[in-house]
Amino acid sequence: MRGGHAQDVLDSIVEHRSLKDALEGLHLSIGTTAQSSYATSNLVRKPMTPRELGHVLKNRAGTVGIAFGREGTGLTNLELRQCDATLTIPAVSEYQTLNLSHAAAIVFYELHIAAGESSMDGLASEQLKKTILGFLSDSALRSGIEEHDRAQLTRAFRNVLGRSAIRHREGSLLVEVLRRISEALSQTKEPEDSGTLSVVSETESGTRAWAEDTSGLPQRHDS
């Protein structure tokens, strides 16, 4: 069975062979989970609620993707790490896991209620967010922070970017600040640890190419 007048939705379905492919090109990706973690080290399972997500997305324009897990096992930690932020539906402990159709209905209802009519600001692109994380990781490396701590720092900051649904202008300003910090650190000391984070190494070439193009960014004027 399907909802009335839904044929256009079915006709527009695009199938992907992997979650990575499905998330490509999104401004913001959200992974769903029924399991929250109380461990401070498990940053991928620190989810927001559908209502909080609706508030975050209000007044933002961009392409947002929500990844729902399998009926039986949900999304793995590895899959959740590919997303910018995580989402959970608060439920009693005896029935934490909802049917996929019920979970989707609740999430989309909350997003619909929160939508409202207001001006829209463009969300930061995935490449811009990767550039922010790249400069952050580089600055942490040059500061002598160990690889494990850098990985935790990068994951925590990615959570912040995801929860805030950062705008393009805000992201551009962050890039400029982090770029200057990285440049200043490179002039004072060499990095003590040559290890790099996977989130940076996978996109290093794209990050560097993007960072070299400073068009549209606030420029430094030396007096």
Per-residue pLDDT of the chain (223 residues; tens, 9 = 90+): 566 677 887 888 889 999 999 999 999 999 999 877 655 555 666 788 999 998 888 877 788 999 999 888 889 989 999 999 999 998 877 777 888 999 999 999 888 888 764 556 678 888 898 899 999 999 999 888 888 888 889 888 888 888 877 888 889 999 999 999 988 888 875 555 544 444 443 334 444 444 455 444 445 554 4
The verdict on 82 and 156 lying in the same domain is no
The verdict on 111 and 146 lying in the same domain is no
Contact 140, 153 (CB under 8 A): yes
The pLDDT, as a whole number, for residue 30 is: 93
Does any domain span residue 185? yes
Q: Domain count of the chain?
A: 2
The verdict on 20 and 110 lying in the same domain is yes
The verdict on 81 and 171 lying in the same domain is no
Distances (CA, A) of 25 to 77, 107, 125, 127, 214: 21, 22, 8, 9, 21
- End of a domain among 69, 92, 121? 121
Does any domain span residue 148? yes
Does any domain span residue 93? yes
Which residue range forms the structural domain that includes residue 174?
Answer: 126-212
The verdict on 95 and 153 lying in the same domain is no
| pTM reported for the whole predicted model | 0.53
The verdict on 20 and 115 lying in the same domain is yes
The pLDDT, as a whole number, for residue 200 is: 40
The verdict on 116 and 164 lying in the same domain is no
Contact 125, 172 (CB under 8 A): no
The order of strands in the sheet holding 28-32 is 64-67, 28-32, 85-87
End-to-end CA distance of the chain: 68
The verdict on 178 and 95 lying in the same domain is no
The pLDDT, as a whole number, for residue 115 is: 77
Does any domain span residue 222? no
The DSSP result for 126-191, as a single string, is HHHHHHHHHHHHHHHHHTT--HHHHHHHHHHHHHHHHHHT-BHHHHHHHHHHHHHHHHHHHHH---
Please name every residue paired with 67 in a beta bridge, in sequence order, or none if there are none: 31
Q: Tokens 């290093």, residue?
A: 204
- End of a domain among 91, 121, 151? 121
Does any domain span residue 208? yes
CATH code of 114's domain: 3.40.1280.10
The verdict on 98 and 59 lying in the same domain is yes
- Nearest CA to 68 among 29, 27, 37, 33? 33
- End of a domain among 105, 121, 137? 121
The verdict on 115 and 138 lying in the same domain is no
